[in-house]
Amino acid sequence: MKALIVMLALLALVVVGISPASVNAQEQASIEIRGERVPLAPGEALVVKLHGREKVTTVYSFPSYVRVELTESFSQGLFYSVITVRPDFSISKECEGELIFRSSAPFNLTLTKMGTASERIIKTYACPANVTLRLLTSLGLDEGLRRLDVSVLVPIFDVDPWAIIPYAIFTPLFGAALLLDIKDMKRRKAGKWDLIDSLALTMKYLFYASLVSLLVVVLWTLGYSVYTLLVMGTATIKLGGLLLSLTASSIMGLIYAVAHWRGWYELIDEED
């Protein structure tokens, strides 16, 4: 009986002695770091660099308007990883995200702010093995950079729908006016009106439709640039739709000028 009591006492001492250590080990198995707000200028990005002896597992969570690029590689027995975070400040001037790292071996983490021609180290961390590192980040537009920083985007093969909408509106309107005008011309110039005259009048109306559509696209592009300048401090000029509209108007204007040069509009401009 005494032996049983002694064994229970020893077991109680072992439980009391081990439990705090176990809890402490569990608490140390996860480290959370809440970083300070990182101000970024338009075109800058937050870059997280990792390197260690073993692969570092990376998981991240950011809003949908934040572009995250992850590259991993092994070189000379070391693992390297680079995470590039680029917020779209045209949607929101502030964003928060979370990055989670874990490895079976110790690794180093470096936070940097990368611009177009420079890179500045913000902070470095050393993480032990088998410990989950949770890095909470806060990114925002640098309010001290309220200047005219023009960023020109030229998505030639990726035209926004707004660049096509003016043509979808004005082309049918000018087309309806064209049909009425052709009908009136055939009545007023009966016996002299032929297919060439109808074709010339069609090119004239198409040129006017493209010209009006181009004016709308130019006004929209300028308005969007002013809006982005006032909201974000950066004037963003989207040239894709503008170049498409300018090309269409130039082609129609060239055809219209050649038709005039060949005298196709003599009957149309003739006084009744």
pLDDT at 102 over 90: yes
Task: State how far the Cα of 105 lies from the Cα of 9, in Å rounded to an integer.
Answer: 39
Is 63 within 8 Å of 36 (Cβ atoms)?
Answer: no
Compute the average pLDDT of residues 33-53: 86
Compute the average pLDDT of residues 76-96: 87
Question: pLDDT averaged over the chain?
Answer: 79
pLDDT at 40 over 80: yes
pLDDT at 25 over 80: no
What pLDDT is attached to residue 106?
Answer: 94
Phi-psi group of 191: left, alpha or beta (phi > 0 → left; psi -120 to 50 → alpha; rest → beta): left
Task: State how far the Cα of 37 lies from the Cα of 123, in Å rounded to an integer.
Answer: 12
pLDDT at 190 over 60: yes
Compute the average pLDDT of residues 236-265: 84
What pLDDT is attached to residue 151?
Answer: 52
What pLDDT is attached to residue 8?
Answer: 46
Antiparallel, parallel or unpaired: β 132-141 and 30-40: parallel
Compute the average pLDDT of residues 219-242: 74
pTM: 0.47
Q: Which of the four pLDDT bands, split at 50, 70 and 90, describes residue 93?
A: confident
Q: Which of the four pLDDT bands, split at 50, 70 and 90, describes residue 148?
A: very low
Four-CA torsion 141, 143, 144, 149, nearest 10 degrees: 60
Mind giving me the DSSP string for 35-61? Answer: EEEEEE-TT-EEEEEEEESS-EEEEEE
CA neighbor of 182 nearest in space, from 163, 195, 191: 195
